Structure 1
Amino acid sequence: MKMKDERPYSDPERAARRLMEHARAFEPVQDGRIYIEKINYPMICQDKATPAEYWAGLQYAKDQGWLEYHESGTFVRMLHAGKDLFA
């Protein structure tokens, strides 16, 4: 059985903050778009978050007004409140 410390992204807020760090590291393209693979790959493959942890973090960031998630699922945009996390 895994301890909670072994799954740091089981906390949606912590997952969302890490996701925002990945979003910030990527230079947005046209119209502020950040392609979703630029944040999901490092979260899942490098940080070892589960898909459920990643999705919970994405939803948390969206609900907090940090990210705008496009209905196509192909990109997000960092909103002003998300940028303020790093001010």
Structure 2
Amino acid sequence: MKYADARPYADLEKAARKILEIENAVEPVQGRIHIEKLNEPFLFRDGGSPAEYGAGLKLAIDRGWFTLHESGTFVTFTPAGAELFA
């Protein structure tokens, strides 16, 4: 029996890549992208959960694809992250 549908971003790699895709589509302001420009599409448009968002964000930061400002309000692409879309 199958009781629940499979979550689209249960795989952390997929969640991190989706966050990167969203980030790539957003126009940076002064080289920074505000975090709400990432979490709103991921959570509400794409149907991810807060846990999947947090885990995907952490994985992307750990892999060095972008950096999160110490205030937690914005992110910036690193060269490694920008290279994924070049």
TM-score by length of 1: 0.91
Q: How do 1:1-87 and structure 2 match up within 5 A?
A: 1-3=3-5, 6-30=6-30, 32-87=31-86
Q: Structure 2: which 5+ runs fail to align? A: none
Q: Structure 1: which 5+ runs fail to align? A: none
How many residues matched?
84
> What amino acid does structure 1 have at the position aligned with 2:4?
K
Stretches of 4+ aligned residues off by more than 4 angstroms: none
Deviation at 1:80, TM superposition (A): 0.8
TM-score by length of 2: 0.92
> What amino acid does structure 2 have at the position aligned with 1:79?
T
SS of residue matched to 1:8: coil
CA RMSD in angstroms, aligned pairs only: 0.9
Tell me the distance in 2 between the aligned counterparts of 1:26 and 1:79: 15
Tell me the distance in 2 between the aligned counterparts of 1:48 and 1:37: 15
